[in-house]
Amino acid sequence: MQDIPGVQNIVAIGSGKGGVGKTTVSVNVAIALSRLGNRVGLLDADVYGPNVPLMMGVSEAPLTDGDRIRPIVKEGLRVMSMGFLNPGDKPLVWRGPMLHNVMQQFLRQVQWGELDYLIIDLPPGTGDVQLSLMQSTKLTGAVVVTTPSDVSLEDARKAVNMFHQVKVPVLGMIENMSYLIAPQSKERIDVFGHGAGRKTAEVMNVPFLGELALIPEIRKGGDTGKPVALEGPASEMAAGFYAIAKMVEARCAEVSKVSGPTMSVSD
């Protein structure tokens, strides 16, 4: 198992199922970490449904230096995605060995440079891409995204157990789409129920990193390539992502004290 030279912390953000806003969380937390003063890379490992280019407002293809790929730099992040190499609506029909090879390219042949955090947006589920990443590089830890619904939580538990099984520390669980604030009355509406994410985290003995509201502006920001985290920590819509980013910083520091950092930037 190899480290990525220059990268101090590698954090995978995953979910047991699709549709829980995992990529939205990955993009906004990566931006928040950057705005908090860190050097941050964002790897879109969801090769079958790469949405990071759309959410980051990037359409150009990366350049190469020989056999090395230059990541796209946007909003202070170094970004790499299969969406840059296979744009548009053309489906990617690949089997396991090809997925493993492209993951190795993204990890080893991209010029990530010196990073405090490399955020990896995993595909949903517990399949080949996840296993390839975890078998080939040392992750600082993983974050699991869920919604409060029982269906989502059932699959989130599988994701947590997968990370435990392969000895990847679970930094915590995030409950996305946790509630909705009615525009007129300002009443809190628990669309998918309330408190189940926190309770699940407690039962599974993993930290609960926080709740994120179901806010239309978050969806609009992703659709238009202007994530709400760009508005800064003072923004009501972005504050939750900054709070989670700070907890991710703290959890990575805790894990590094126990196991040592993934890689020293001075190495």
Banded model confidence at residue 86, pLDDT cuts 50, 70, 90: low
Q: Which pLDDT band holds residue 265 (cuts at 50, 70, 90)? A: very low
Backbone conformation region of residue 149, classed left if phi is above 0, alpha if psi is from -120 to 50, else beta: beta
For residue 266, pLDDT beyond 50: no
**Tens of pLDDT along 105-155?**
888 889 999 999 999 999 887 677 777 787 778 899 999 999 998 889 999
d(CA 39, CA 101): 26
Coil, helix or strand for 88? Answer: coil
Is the pTM higher than 0.85? The answer reads yes
C-alpha–C-alpha distance, residues 128 and 125, integer Å: 9
What are residue 254's phi and psi, to 5 degrees? Answer: -65, -45
The pair of three-digit structure tokens given for residue 29, joined into one six-digit string: 């937390």
User: Are the CB atoms for 26 and 42 separated by under 8 Å?
Assistant: yes
Torsion of CA 152, 245, 160, 46, to 10 degrees: 70
The larger pLDDT score, comparing residue 213 to residue 246, is at 246
Strand 188-189 and strand 180-181: the pairing is antiparallel
CATH number of the 8-258 domain = 3.40.50.300
Q: Encode pLDDT of 193-233 as tens digits.
A: 778 899 999 999 999 999 999 888 999 999 999 999 999 99
Confidence check: pLDDT of 64 > 90:
no
